[in-house]
Each structure stands twice: as structure tokens, then as C-alpha cells.
């Protein structure tokens, strides 16, 4: 083992998973989180097999699987006719084809499971209410030696302050898209919503994803359309201009969907989508970016959390085997190539989901002609990926 201790800034999914991954190899860590208590923002979360396989290795799968739901299928449907265009079996298919389950759950369920695992692990120390914005912060230094751990891991999200200390690091830009998120009781869900599956409704320049949250007995709904940059922040407040753009994006959709969205827009969480561009992820010495700090991405492949979990697992494996300078180079090489492929898939999905005019008609025809097994084969590289040990 080359490194016996690390410091991690950020107590989200990436930071907590990294601490658990390092502990899995006998490496101690201190996690610094600026919030006085850990509260996961957002609502629903899709966990694909490439992520759940890792969560099993980290020892948290059993605690979350009691509360999640494994949907029968992941479906694509028309936002105008509500007709199902394509369907991929996942409830039993995921375990047999990709070796791990596909599930949906509330983000807080995963966050709490990770937190419980961290708090009971003697190799991990969690420090809440501690903002770290510089690699030279005094809090990072041990007493009485005054030395900092040999590796500082920046898992501090898309608005990372530590990213400023990486020369040539990624720039963060507004994508031009807004996600409107809300939940509703299953008993209040419209008849067109199938509570046994994940459904993405596709339309011109917009789409809507719907799936059940078992632990809340509710339906999670995320509608994504164009919007105006509200500035730095995640769950900003919407105004009349943003709501007007949203209504316009869905104006040609099925009346049942429009009625659902019209009734909920004012109270939905307004979630501007930002993306980190291409850039360096380390300072060549002792600072490394992971998760959204390195590669925040659009949700068109539902892989944001999965990529953070993969980052954490592969980083722990590398820290256990290599000296820090080699860890930095190797991690960046492995993970940037993986992220590049996932981003590319997201770009293709966005094009297909938001297609307009004749392209939309052609898309619907192609989707309806493909089998579920054909779609599954296209996902083997994504869901069947196993982080290197």
C-alpha cells in the first residue's frame, strides 16, 4: 500500500463513496463537508448495474435495496400520443445480463446508507460544518506535525472551489436546460402513468422522466426543457419568464401531460443544469478532482451518480496500489476516457429525446421496430462496465 491516509472535501455521494472505497483497502480518510448536516437535495435517482455492483462491494447495497424498487422495464414513450415506442426489460434482465440490479430510489435513501456506513467505519472521520476552499487550509493539517495527507481529493461538486487550484481545469457552463422536479403521491398519479416502470416521454425540445419511489409511496417526475441561466446555484427560484418558457416547451404535448405539469410548475423544484467541460483533473502533485467537480454532466444517460460511484471505487483501488503521482495520472487517463463515452451517449440521447419535425417521426419509427434485447445490447458497455480492481 502506497498511501495510508487521504483528505476528502465534500460529503456527497462521490466523497462518501471515496472514503468507503479507501477504507475497503485499509486507507484512512477525513471527509470535510461545509454543511452542518448532510441533506441530499433532489428527489429520485436511477441506479444502473455499473453502480449497484460497486455499492455491493462497499457493503451498502443491502441497506438500500430494502427501500428501492426494481422497475419491470425502462420505456420510451411519445409525449404527444403517450404510446410506448420502446421498452427494455430490467427487473430480472439486469441481474442476469449485467450481473447487478437496476433500481430507482430517493437520493436521500442512498445518502443515508452511505452516511451510516461512514459513521460506523473506524478508518473514516467526518467533519461537518467545515468549508475548505484551498489546498493550504489549516484544517487539513495534522497536529502536531502540521503535515497534510499526501492526497487531497476534491469531491466538492460542480461549484468546486478547489478546482481553481488545478491549472487547465474544466470550466463550468450553463447548458441552456432546466430540470423541473416534483413528486406526487401514487394515489394521485394520472392513469397514463405506469407505476411499475421508468418511462421517458419524448417531445420536441423537451422530455419528461417518470418513475416510482417505493420508500415514499410516490411518483418522481423530472421534466427537462430550455431555460435561462439563473446564475450559480442548484435549486434556484423560478420566475414568470422561466415558467413561460417551460409552458411553451410542452405546449404541443398530450393534454394529460400538460395538465399534470401546469398543476405542478409553480411548486416544482427549479433545477438549472450546468456541465463541466474538458480539462485537467489534477495539479500534478497532490490534488485530484472527482465526481461533479471534474465532470458534471447532463442527465440524458442518468449516469451522474453512477459516474461518481465509479470514480470513488477506481480511485480507492489505485491509491491502494500506486504512489500519489501515478494515481493522479492513471486515474485521469482511465476515467476521462470512460466519461467521454458516457457524455457521447448523452449527446445522442438528447438529440433523440428532443427531436423535432421529420426527425421525430423517423425516430419514433426506428424505436418501434427495435426489440428490447437490441436496446439492451447497446447498453452492455455502459451497464456491464466493472471498475478495475
Q: What is the pLDDT of residue 250?
A: 93
C-beta of residue 153 within 8 angstroms of C-beta of residue 8: yes
| Residue 234: predicted pLDDT | 46
Per-residue pLDDT tens digits for 314-338: 999 999 999 999 999 999 999 999 9
Q: What is the mean pLDDT of residues 243-262?
A: 92
Distance (Å, rounded) from C-alpha 245 to C-alpha 355?
Answer: 18
Query: Mind listing the pLDDT tens digit for each residue in 50-73?
Result: 999 999 999 999 999 999 999 999
Averaged pLDDT, 144-152: 86
What residue segments make up the domains of the chain, in order of their start?
5-69+107-171+276-350
pLDDT tens-place string over residues 161-203: 999 999 999 999 999 999 999 999 999 999 999 999 999 999 9
Task: Look at the alpha carbons of 252, 75, 53, 111 in this order and tell me if their dihedral is positive or negative.
Answer: positive
Q: What is the pLDDT of residue 237?
A: 58
Q: Give residue 103's pLDDT.
A: 97
* Digit-coded pLDDT (tens) for 194-244: 999 999 999 988 999 999 999 999 999 999 998 877 665 544 556 777 888
What is the CATH architecture assignment of 5-69+107-171+276-350? 3-Layer(bba) Sandwich (3.50)
Q: Is the pLDDT of residue 94 over 90?
A: yes
Tell me whether residue 374 is exposed, middle or buried, using C-beta atoms within 10 angstroms of its C-beta: 0 to 12, 13 to 18, 19 or more. exposed
CA–CA dist 51, 366 (Å, integer): 29
- Predicted pLDDT of residue 246: 87
Per the listing, cell 451517449 goes with 345
Amino acid at each position: 500500500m502506497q498511501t495510508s491516509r487521504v483528505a476528502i472535501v465534500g460529503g456527497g455521494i462521490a466523497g462518501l463513496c471515496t472514503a468507503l472505497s479507501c477504507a475497503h483497502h485499509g486507507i484512512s480518510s477525513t471527509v470535510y463537508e461545509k454543511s452542518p448536516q448532510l441533506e441530499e437535495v433532489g428527489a429520485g435517482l436511477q441506479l444502473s448495474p455499473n453502480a449497484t455492483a460497486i455499492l455491493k462491494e462497499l457493503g451498502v447495497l443491502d441497506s438500500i435495496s430494502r427501500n428501492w424498487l426494481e422497475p419491470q422495464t425502462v420505456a420510451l414513450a411519445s409525449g404527444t400520443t403517450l404510446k410506448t415506442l420502446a421498452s427494455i426489460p430490467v427487473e430480472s434482465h439486469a441481474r442476469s445480463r449485467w450481473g447487478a440490479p437496476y433500481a430507482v430510489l430517493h437520493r436521500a435513501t442512498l445518502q443515508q446508507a452511505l452516511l451510516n456506513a461512514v459513521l460506523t467505519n473506524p478508518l473514516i472521520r467526518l467533519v461537518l460544518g467545515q468549508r475548505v476552499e484551498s489546498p493550504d487550509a489549516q484544517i487539513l493539517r495534522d497536529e502536531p506535525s502540521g503535515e497534510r495527507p499526501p492526497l487531497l481529493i476534491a469531491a466538492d461538486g460542480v461549484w468546486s472551489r478547489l478546482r481553481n487550484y488545478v491549472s487547465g481545469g474544466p470550466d463550468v457552463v450553463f447548458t441552456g436546460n432546466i430540470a423541473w422536479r416534483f413528486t406526487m403521491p401514487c394515489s394521485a398519479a394520472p392513469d397514463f402513468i405506469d407505476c411499475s416502470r421508468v418511462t421517458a416521454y419524448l417531445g420536441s425540445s423537451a422530455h419528461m422522466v417518470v418513475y416510482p419511489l417505493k420508500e415514499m409511496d410516490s411518483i418522481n417526475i423530472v421534466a427537462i426543457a430550455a431555460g435561462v441561466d439563473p446564475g450559480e446555484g442548484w435549486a434556484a427560484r423560478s420566475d414568470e419568464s422561466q415558467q413561460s418558457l417551460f409552458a411553451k416547451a410542452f405546449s404541443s404535448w398530450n393534454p394529460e401531460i400538460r395538465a399534470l405539469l401546469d398543476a405542478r410548475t409553480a411548486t416544482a423544484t427549479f433545477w438549472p443544469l450546468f456541465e463541466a467541460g474538458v480539462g485537467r483533473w489534477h495539479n500534478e502533485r497532490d490534488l485530484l478532482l472527482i465526481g461533479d467537480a471534474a465532470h458534471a454532466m447532463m442527465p440524458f444517460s442518468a449516469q451522474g451518480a453512477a459516474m461518481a460511484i465509479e470514480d470513488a471505487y477506481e480511485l480507492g483501488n489505485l491509491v491502494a496500489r500506486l504512489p500519489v503521482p501515478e494515481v493522479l495520472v492513471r486515474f485521469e487517463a482511465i476515467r476521462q476516457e470512460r466519461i467521454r463515452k458516457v457524455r457521447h451517449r448523452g449527446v445522442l440521447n438528447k438529440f433523440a429525446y428532443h427531436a423535432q419535425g421529420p426527425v421525430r417521426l423517423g425516430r419514433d419509427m426506428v424505436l418501434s421496430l427495435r426489440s428490447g434485447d437490441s436496446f439492451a445490447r447497446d447498453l452492455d458497455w455502459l451497464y456491464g462496465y466493472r471498475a478495475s480492481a
